[in-house]
Amino acid sequence: MLRMGMIGGGLGAFIGPVHRRAAELDGNIRLVAGAFSRSADTSRASGLAYGIAPERTYPDYRTMLAEEARRPDGIQFVSIVTPNDMHFAIARDAITAGIGVVSDKPATTTLAQAIELRQVIRDNSGAYALTYTYTGYPMLREARALVADGALGALRKVVVEYYQGWLATPGERTGNKQAEWRTDPDRAGIGGCVGDIGVHAFNLAEFVTSSRVQELNADLSKVVPGRTLDDDCTILVRFANNVPGLIAASQIATGERNGLRLRVYGEKGGLDWCHERPDLLVLNRADGVTECRHAGSDSLGPSARAATRLPAGHPEGFFEALANIYGDFAQMLSSKQERGDGLLQTIDEGVRSMAFVETAVESSANRRWMGLRDV
């Protein structure tokens, strides 16, 4: 049983309880300490509500790191679920203190910070993971394995779209807290839609194909009048070997919920996966027959099977996908070994994501193709 501390996620926060549920789901991690808020009072009240021992509910994260490091039963890692602008400093301090980190994405708010954090992690042999939740879904792991095993033959084309509609109206002017910070460059960074969800699409494209975007040409739009950050982006990309691709995301696609969809085409077939039905992976074969594969089925590969708890036909969802990431991290931490299978998203993917966002913003501003640096 690994001992986890949480930073952020106090009462009223949305994402804290989500991570708590996911971390504890499989019974090998337990939340035992927390600095749940910048307000010491809120942190204390939250700890009480979450059943944390009062002496392990801390007024701030630095105190927690210091105190827990001294305890024989101290936390082994922290889960960072604060607003984005705190991720970097907390991760750096935790790693430096010898404590592992599971960080909500993005790793940092700038590419420079991400590179710095990478160095810190390397220098300290730190254990670090980013919760790109979608990479925890079993059928995306199956997709990745199928591509890697050559089931599609040579890669031909990659399309990942992520369409939401919740910012189709200017909620930031009517008190929607989520809308407020996500449309505010001071808090969200230079990327709006591209940084919030476009980056998920990008990460997934590379995750599933094990190939890398080499250059891109981005069209970022501020569709709802009055916005200073993009709320819609469509990005032409080229992968290695000049394979064409598309990364598209929107938060003004009215009526869309959380429409993440990935399609990968190779010489021998095409894969299709949608988040709204995550247990299904469609393989369109070149011979015209479509194969649907189902999570929980015995016919899947080992990475998908390891990421499922229930037999086929029993839906698992977002919490379980996130739990898979916590589980992978726990396994790494327990074994003190890198996993080596590339399933866990690390600071490398964090660096890459930040490079993607910064390049996309610059490409769109200049309206031209740009290389995506491998930094």
Q: How far is the CB of 353 from a copy of itself (least distance, A)?
A: 21
Residue 59: both structure tokens together: 């007024």
Which listed residue (39, 119, 210, 254) binds a copy of itself by CB under 8 A?
254
Closest to a copy of itself by CB, 63 or 258: 258
Q: Which residue number, 128 or 137, has a Cβ lying nearer to a copy of itself?
A: 137
| Residue nearer to a copy of itself on the CB measure, 122 or 177 | 177
Q: E strands along the chain, which residues?
A: 2-7, 29-35, 77-80, 100-103, 128-130, 155-163, 213-221, 232-239, 244-250, 259-266, 269-274, 280-285, 290-294, 370-371
Pair 77, 332: CB distance under 8 Å:
no
- Residue pair 310/316 in contact (Cβ under 8 Å)? The answer is yes
Residues 25-44 that bind a copy of itself (CB under 8 A): 25-27, 30
CA-CA distance, 20 to 30, in Å (whole number)? 8
Q: Which of residues 207-226 bind a copy of itself (CB under 8 A)?
A: 217, 219, 221, 223
**Residues 46-105, interacting with a copy of itself (CB under 8 A):** 50-51
Q: Which of residues 153-192 bind a copy of itself (CB under 8 A)?
A: 156-157, 159, 164-166, 168-169
Q: Distance (Å, rounded) from C-alpha 328 to C-alpha 339?
A: 8
Among residues 115, 148, 246, 333, which is the contact residue for a copy of itself, using CB under 8 A?
246
Distances (CA, A) of 266 to 143, 147, 302, 341, 348: 12, 8, 22, 22, 26
Residue in 6, 10, 20, 131 binding a copy of itself, rule: CB under 8 A: 20
Q: Contacts with a copy of itself in 260-289 (CB under 8 A)?
A: 263, 265-270, 275-279, 283-289
CA gap 200, 161 in Å, rounded: 9
Q: Which is nearer to a copy of itself, 25 or 86 (CB)?
A: 25
Q: Does 334 bind a copy of itself (CB under 8 A)?
A: no
Complex with a copy of itself: residue 144 or 293, whichever CB lies closer = 293
Between 89 and 312, whose beta carbon lies closer to a copy of itself?
Answer: 312
Judged by CB under 8 A, does residue 293 bind a copy of itself?
A: yes
Interface residue with a copy of itself, options 185, 302, 311, 371 (CB under 8 A): 311
DSSP for 186-242 reads: HHH-S-SHIIIIIHHHHHHHHHHH---EEEEEEEEE--STT-SS-SEEEEEEEEGGG
Min dist CB 134 to a copy of itself, Å, is 11
